[in-house]
Structures are given as C-alpha cells and as structure tokens.
C-alpha cells in the first residue's frame, strides 16, 4: 500500500478521530478511569504511563546513593537501563538510558529516517513523531505560505509521511505547528525522558520532563531499542524567590540566566529551577525558560511538578496524567537538601525586563540600559521589525498579553511603527486566538499572522523591507540571534526579548523605549503610558483544537512504499562511511582554521539550505560558508594547499576528497554551539574530514561528530591553538592504543619542515571508540546486528 501525498497531507488516516472528539471522549468517570490504564498520550493508545517502573528504578538508585536527590537526578536515573549496576558520577560516568519517546522536526527527521531505513529494522521501538515545521517560509501570510510550502516540499513531505507510516512514526502535517508546542500540548508529562532532534527540545521541561536535544543518529539508537548514552550531567540549581509582576515575564528569567552563565556556562549540566518563586510562573512560562536554556549550552532544563502544570494538563485534556502525577509527586520534585554543583539565585520581585543581543543571546541588558549601549556601540535605534511567537513564546498567555498592549495603543489611535509578525506555536493556539479575537486585535495593529511554523526564527523569512547588507535592528521573542540567522542579512542587529517588549518597541519604533518609564503620544497629541500587560494564563472557554493535522501510523505499515528517486535533488539514500584503516592520521591538511564563534549555523547554514536536509551531497555545498578564516579574516575563502588556489570552502574540501587528501579543522571555544543539526557533523565527514581540533565543544555537536566517525579533539593547552598555522600539516598519533581518558599526540609539521608536538584531549568512552573504528555509530549498529 503506497500512501500518496494527498492522502498524507490533505486528511488524517481514518483510524485517527478528530482531536476535539478525542477530547470529549477523554473525559471519563473516576470509576472507569481507575480501571483503565492511562496512556502516555491520547494519540498513543497502546502505551502506558511509566510511573510504576520509574518508581521501582528510583528506589534502587536512591538506596545506592543514600542522599537527597535533585529532580533532574530522579527523572534521569529512574530511566537507567540498569539501575543496579550503572556507574553514577556527575560529569564523569556515561549513563545508558531508556527514553520514553522520540520527536523529530522535518528538517532533521529526513536524515534520521534515512539512517533508520539504512539500519534495516522493521519498526521503531518507542513512540516517535515527525513534525513538519521547518520548511515553511514566511512570505505573505499563514494560509498562502502554507499552500506554497506544501507545493514546494511535496517530495519531502511525502517521504516523511510514508516513512512514518511504514516504520510506525506519527506524522504531524505541515500547518500543525512547531514541534515543541505540539509536544507540550500532547506528549510531555512530569517525569518524562524524551529526546528530540532539535536543540530546543528542552521546552518540555516546562511540564516537568527531561527533554533533551540530540542529533538524528541518537534518535536512531532509541528508535532501534538501543540504550541511549549520555554523559552524566552536573546539576545547576536556580533558586527563584519573589514573584513575577508588571512588565517582567518568564522570558526575563532565562535572559538573566543567559547573562550570568553565558552561552557555554551550562555545558554538561542540567539547569534545575526550584524555590518559592516557581509558583508565580505559568506552565507555558516555565516552558519558555526551559526552551531558551539551549542558549547556555545546557543539556536540558526542568521545573518541579506543581499546580500550574496540573492546570495545564487538565486544560489540554490530560486529567488522568495529572491525577497520576499528584500521586507520584515525591518523584517529580527535588528532595530537601539536594546537592547542586552550582547555585544561582534570582529574586523575581527585583528582576527587570531584559533584552539580549545583538549577535549572541547572552549579551544581556536591562531594558532601560539597552539604549545607552546601542548609542555607545553604534547599533541602530530604529526598530525595523518586531516578531512575536516561535517555539519559545507562542502560548495563549503570550498572545493575550501582547493583545492587551495593542488594545491600549489603539485606544489612543496608534498602530505599529515597524513590521509586526505573529507566529502561532500550533494549530490549537492559532484556532484559539482566532476564536477569542486576539488574532484580529494583533492584525488591526498592523500585524501579519504567519503559518504555524518556525518561520523567521530559523531563517525561513523572505524579508523584503531591507536590502542585504543594510544595517538595521529587529526585536524578536525568539531564542537565538546569531549573525544572519533570521533574515540571512549579516548587518541585521537582532535582539531577543519578551513578546510584550517586542510589541511595545514595535509600537514606539525604537530600541530604547522602556514602557515602564517612557510615554507615547496618541493621535490626539496627548501623552500616555502603557499599563502593565495582562492576560489569562489559559483560555476560559478551553482550547479550540482547530483542524485535524495528525496522521497516526497504521498498526502494520510493512506494505507502505517509501520511494526515494535516484534523480532526486531533495532526498538521497545514504552510503556507509569508510571504516578506520587501523593507522594514525598522517599529515592531514588544514581545510580551515576558524577564528572566533563557530556555531552550527556557521558550519551548516539553515534558511534556503533547509530544502537539502535529506540530500547529504547537495547540502554539503553549504559547509563553513560563514565561518571566519583565520588566514585572511574572510568567509568562504580558503587556499587549496596543493594547488595554492583560493576558493570556496566546500569546493576546496571536494577537491581534497577527490585527491584522497585527508583534512581537519582547527577551531575556537564552544565550537558547534547552537542548533542540534547533525548535518554540521555529517558534511565534514562526507567531504573527507577526519578530525576537528578546538579549544572546547558544545555538547550536542561533539556527540554528533563521534556518531559519524569523526575525531572531536580539544587542545590540552588552549594556547596551542596559536601554534598552528593554516599551512601546517597535522598528524594524530596513538590511535592504535586509543582509550578512554588517554590523550592523543598531535604532531604539527610547519611549512618550513620543523615539527612540534602537543597533546589533545578527548571524551570518548569504550563504546564511542568502537564507533570511530567502525566508521560511524550506524556502521557499528550493523556490525552488532551481524554478530561482529
């Protein structure tokens, strides 16, 4: 049985009842509920809430540790594959875990499903979903942009729809909404352990789950019923006191934390919020905070179960889960006296509204100070565009608070001075704000309601109001503001803040507008100040589910055809990477020595390149396009050390590969910061790279490199970065005795023939070393299946 695109995209399978009907059916009497098993989601009827098993595992670990435990530890360790024998030491041990589910967005799902297909397995082993949110470009408005995206991405959507049906993966069609909002509404629950192929997967921590961003190869492991490996995280505690009020919002909590911890301060750690201030934050507000925890490099972030989470579960028709969470609350909250590796304290009553940026999400400014910084640094003060929504801030409460500001402005005859775009987080949010008149209020302000998708947040924005290279300022309620990320214009100064401040600054048209202190002038010539924003946390009339956008996989999908055309420019079946030849890496050429910040955006750009996420060879043409070459301070211009010709980075890498020249990359601090996209690891491997040598790595990217058979190595002495010139040759010695905790020797051969030796550290464990020797984790999976 082959699923057509029309079947996959225009309607749901007949076995899936409309969500509004499901909601009515989900309300059952207490006696009936007591006799029934509670599913992890009403969309996964064959599953069961895992609390009994988790409590059993937790009792074993608690007995072993003999001390109070943080919430993070309780959730993580209760999912151990072997709680009796697993070594548990924060920052040292590698944990083998059994996550409850997997979530994939469409851009990363393509490669994840291609890898799963190549594994030869018949069906996924855990509940898994695909969410179509990344490939919809913001151009005109929601309906028109969605229609255009479905036409342009027909081949990819058909592949994801049919492969989901074939292998047992739920499929959320384009227009459904952003993966993280869908997870919060339908799948997240207190105590959940989930992995997702997107760096902002931690959004689910707002509902008390440990939701962790990974690469597609990690997702394949879990879908293949292989224990998932994670280095035992440290735990950073953030104690919240006081309460939020006025213009201060949940977004300001994480903006403040980002300023304190910086973009790498959370690396290797879970950020756990606790304290009396937690109860003043809504469930979706907690999700906002956890979502943007990705910007400090944290493994994930989490809040303890409380009444605000219970209210959200009930509002989203999950009373049964709420009841079970109440009964298991001791497992869903930290113990008194639990030890944290680092402690941060924030008094919410004293916290000021913040705005962070430009060009990095940890450059924090209280809103009344950003104007002063802008004038000193020459940042444009005029706000050209304001954008609210995204996976970070698109809740009903967010939209309502913005509408309350707009209503005040319009009473004085004012509308937005800048472009104003609104991105609903899900079809449910879109339908509810339409029904309740919020969307119309925002439109009358001058706003455009975009599709339920990522859109400008990930560079899917066909921006026409400024030319590329034109210096300008935008303010967003997004999570990430790296150079060129939103509109591909490196001269755009992007700032991240709360949706309320985005609305106020769009109204004033200036970056230095502080709504707490500054006045506006109405059309009658009179000055007025905006009152504090306010909105209902949850809709009083309940959520409107909107259109049914979910395709459930059939019970048996073995007859579903999944076709990938050999001529396709969007999809490409994978070929295995070559195995290690058993020898040291001798005199590798340096493809590029990167200077300064090198995020996954620099290594594998998004925006227009998203259309090639399922075609490894085509997307490899974007490799290192915006990384700064230390040799000439330019982007996408390196010298071919064999021919001495200068050219683009991808073309030079292809020339080396064609000549069987192995190459490596030298990088700076926190290399691979940002998105979880594994293409930033796949592309260098595909084009002949062998090692990435840097001062330090971001967690997800380091793991992704290991999964693809690359060598991610760090300078034992970070100052050794300066010893290497782009025309040097690099040798890695000691691979025959490659072992955990044992540094590798690096011999630098300079252009004058002189040599010097330095030491390189690594974080490989025994299993990861087998990935390197096999050529990739997927290769090793096949070896194990074959009994090798």
Q: What pLDDT is stored for residue 788 in this prediction? A: 81
Supply the mean pLDDT for the chain: 93
pLDDT class of 465 with cuts at 50, 70, 90? very high
Distance CA 91, CA 440 (A): 50
pLDDT of residue 607: 81
pLDDT for 4 equals 34
pTM of the model: 0.89
Q: Find out whether 106 and 156 touch, Cβ atoms under 8 Å.
A: yes
Query: Residue 614's beta-bridge partner residues?
Result: 571
In sequence order, the β-bridge partners of residue 128 are 102
Closest by CA to 281, choosing from 388, 206, 389, is 206
**Maximum Cα–Cα distance across the chain:** 83
- What per-residue confidence (pLDDT) applies to 639? 97
Mean pLDDT of 302-331: 98
- On the question of pLDDT at 202 being above 70, the answer is yes
CA atoms within 13 A on the CB side of 425: 26
Tell me: pLDDT of 360 over 90. yes
Residue 2 confidence (pLDDT) above 70: no
Q: What is the pLDDT of residue 432?
A: 98
Residue 260 makes CB contacts below 8 A (sequence gap 6+) with 344
Kindly tell me if the per-residue pLDDT of 20 is higher than 60: no
Question: For residues 117 and 224, is the Cβ–Cβ distance under 8 A?
Answer: no
Q: What's the pLDDT band for 606 if we cut at 50, 70, 90?
A: confident
Inform me whether the pLDDT recorded for 266 exceeds 50.
yes
Q: What CA–CA distance (Å, rounded) separates 507 from 528?
A: 13
What is the distance between the alpha carbons of residues 98 and 534, in angstroms, rounded to a whole number? Answer: 41
Distance CA 455, CA 466 (A): 18
> How many Cα neighbours within 13 Å face the side chain of 155?
16
The answer to whether residue 22 scores a pLDDT higher than 60 is: no
How would residue 15 be classed by pLDDT, with cut points 50, 70 and 90? very low
Q: How far apart are CA 119 and CA 727, in angstroms?
A: 40
Better-predicted residue by pLDDT, 15 or 783: 783
Nearest to 741 by CA among 758, 723, 721, 764: 764
C-alpha–C-alpha distance, residues 783 and 718, integer Å = 37
The alpha carbon torsion through 213, 216, 218, 221 (nearest 10 deg) reads 140
pLDDT at 119: 87
- The model's pLDDT over 228-254, given as tens digits with 9 standing for 90+, comes to 999 999 999 999 999 999 999 999 999
Q: What is the pLDDT of residue 610?
A: 87
Residue range 263-282: average pLDDT? 96
Q: How confident is the model at residue 26 (pLDDT cuts 50, 70, 90)?
A: very low
List, for residues 644-665, the tens digit of each pLDDT value. Answer: 999 999 999 999 999 999 999 9
Of residues 785 and 117, more confidently modeled: 117
Q: How far is it, in rounded angstroms, from Cα 656 to Cα 658?
A: 5
Q: What is the pLDDT of residue 400?
A: 98
pLDDT tens per residue across span 747-785: 999 999 999 999 999 999 999 999 999 999 999 998 988
Enzyme catalytic residues: 133-134, 198, 480, 675, 677
The continuous run of DSSP H or E covering 251 comes out as helix 250-261
Q: Is the pLDDT of residue 23 over 50?
A: no
Please give the C-alpha separations between residue 395 and each of 201, 249, 402, in angstroms, as whole numbers: 16, 13, 11
Six token digits for residue 1:
């049985």
Which of 695, 707, 697 shows the shortest CA–CA distance to 775?
Answer: 707
The H or E element spanning position 769 is helix 766-774
Instruction: Give the phi and the psi of residue 726 in degrees, each rounded to 5.
Output: -60, -25
- pLDDT by residue (tens digit) across 483-516? 999 999 999 999 999 999 999 999 999 999 999 9
Q: Given this model, what pLDDT does residue 36 score?
A: 58
Report how far residue 437's alpha carbon sits from residue 209's, in angstroms, rounded to the nearest whole number.
Answer: 32
Judge whether residue 11 has pLDDT over 70: no
Give pLDDT tens digits for 513-557: 999 999 999 999 999 999 999 999 999 999 999 999 999 999 999
What is the share, in percent, of the chain residues with pLDDT greater than 90? 91
Whether the Cβ atoms of residue 363 and residue 357 lie closer than 8 Å to each other: yes
> Among 441, 447, 400, which Cα is nearest to 421's?
447
Lowest mean pLDDT among 8-22, 343-357, 412-426, 653-667: 8-22
For residue 83, what is the DSSP state?
T
Confidence at 384, pLDDT banded by 50, 70, 90: very high
For residue 195, pLDDT beyond 60: yes
């Amino acid at each position: 049985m082959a699923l057509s695109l029309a079947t996959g995209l225009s309607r749901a399978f007949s076995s899936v009842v409309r969500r509004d009907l499901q909601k009515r059916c989900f309300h059952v009497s207490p006696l009936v509920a007591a006799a029934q098993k509670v599913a992890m989601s009403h969309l996964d009827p064959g599953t069961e809430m895992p609390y009994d098993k988790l409590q059993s595992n937790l009792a074993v670990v608690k007995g072993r540790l003999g001390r109070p435990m943080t919430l993070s530890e309780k959730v993580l360790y209760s999912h151990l594959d072997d709680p009796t024998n697993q070594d548990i030491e924060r920052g040292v041990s590698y944990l083998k875990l059994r996550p409850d589910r997997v979530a994939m967005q469409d851009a990363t799902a393509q490669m994840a499903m291609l890898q799963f297909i190549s594994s030869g397995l018949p069906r996924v082993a855990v509940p898994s979903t695909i969410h179509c949110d990344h490939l919809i470009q913001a151009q005109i408005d929601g309906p028109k942009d969605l229609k255009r995206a479905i036409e342009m991405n027909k081949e990819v959507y058909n592949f994801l729809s049919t492969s989901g049906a074939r292998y047992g993966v739920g499929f959320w069609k384009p227009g459904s909404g952003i993966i993280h909002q869908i997870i919060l509404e339908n799948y997240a629950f207190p105590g959940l352990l989930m992995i997702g192929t997107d760096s902002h997967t931690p959004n689910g921590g707002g509902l008390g789950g440990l939701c962790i961003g990974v690469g597609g190869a990690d997702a394949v492991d879990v879908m293949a019923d292989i224990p998932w490996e994670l280095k035992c995280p440290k735990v950073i505690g953030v104690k919240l006191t006081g309460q939020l009020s006025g213009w201060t919002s949940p977004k300001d909590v994480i903006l403040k934390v980002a300023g304190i911890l910086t973009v790498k301060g959370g690396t290797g750690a879970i950020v756990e919020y606790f304290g009396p201030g937690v109860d003043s934050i809504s469930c979706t507000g907690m999700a906002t905070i956890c979502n943007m925890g990705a910007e400090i490099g944290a493994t994930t972030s989490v809040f303890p179960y409380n009444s605000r989470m219970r209210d959200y579960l009930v509002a989203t028709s999950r009373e049964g889960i709420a009841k079970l969470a109440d009964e298991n609350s001791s497992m869903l909250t930290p113990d008194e006296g639990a030890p944290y590796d680092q402690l941060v304290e924030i008094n919410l009553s004293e916290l000021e509204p913040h705005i962070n940026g430009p060009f990095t999400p940890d450059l924090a400014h209280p809103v009344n100070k950003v104007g002063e910084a802008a004038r000193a640094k020459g940042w444009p003060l005029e706000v050209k565009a304001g954008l609210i929504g995204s996976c970070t801030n698109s809740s009903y409460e967010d939209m309502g608070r913005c509408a309350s500001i707009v209503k005040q402005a319009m009473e004085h005859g004012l509308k937005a001075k800048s472009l104003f775009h609104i991105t609903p987080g899900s079809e449910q949010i879109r339908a509810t704000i339409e029904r309740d008149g919020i969307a119309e209020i925002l439109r009358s302000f001058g706003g455009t309601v975009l599709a339920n998708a990522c859109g400008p947040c990930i560079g899917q924005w066909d921006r026409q109001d400024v030319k590329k290279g034109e210096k300008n300022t935008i303010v967003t309620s997004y999570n990430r503001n790296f150079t060129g990320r939103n509109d591909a214009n490196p001269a755009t100064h992007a700032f991240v803040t709360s949706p309320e401040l985005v609305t106020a600054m769009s109204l004033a048209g200036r970056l230095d507008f502080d709504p707490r202190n500054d006045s506006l002038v109405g059309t009658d010539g009179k000055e007025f100040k905006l009152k504090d924003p306010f909105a209902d946390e949850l809709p009083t009339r309940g959520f409107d589910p909107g259109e049914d956008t979910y395709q459930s996989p059939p019970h048996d999908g073995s007859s579903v055809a999944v076709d990938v055309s050999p001529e396709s420019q969007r999809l490409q079946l994978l070929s295995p990477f070559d195995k290690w030849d058993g020898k040291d890496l001798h005199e590798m050429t340096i493809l590029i020595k990167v200077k300064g910040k090198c995020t996954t955006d620099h290594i594998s750009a998004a925006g227009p390149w998203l259309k090639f996420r399922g075609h490894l060879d085509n997307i490899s043409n974007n490799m290192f396009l915006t990384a700064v070459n230390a040799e000439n301070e330019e982007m996408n211009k390196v010298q071919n050390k064999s021919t001495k010709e200068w050219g683009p980075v991808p073309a030079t890498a292809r020339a080396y590969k064609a000549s069987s020249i192995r190459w490596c990359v030298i990088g700076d601090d926190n290399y691979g910061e940002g998105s979880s996209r594994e293409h930033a690891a796949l592309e260098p491997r595909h084009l002949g790279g062998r090692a990435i040598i840097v001062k330090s790595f971001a967690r997800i990217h380091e793991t992704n490199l290991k999964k693809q058979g690359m060598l991610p190595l760090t300078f034992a002495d970070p100052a050794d970065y300066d010893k290497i010139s782009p025309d040097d040759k690099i040798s890695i010695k000691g691979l025959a005795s490659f072992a955990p905790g044992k540094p590798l020797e690096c011999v630098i051969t300079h252009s004058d023939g002189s040599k010097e030796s330095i030491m390189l550290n690594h974080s490989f464990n025994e299993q990861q070393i087998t990935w390197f020797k096999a050529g990739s984790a997927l290769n090793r999976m096949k070896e194990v299946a074959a009994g090798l």
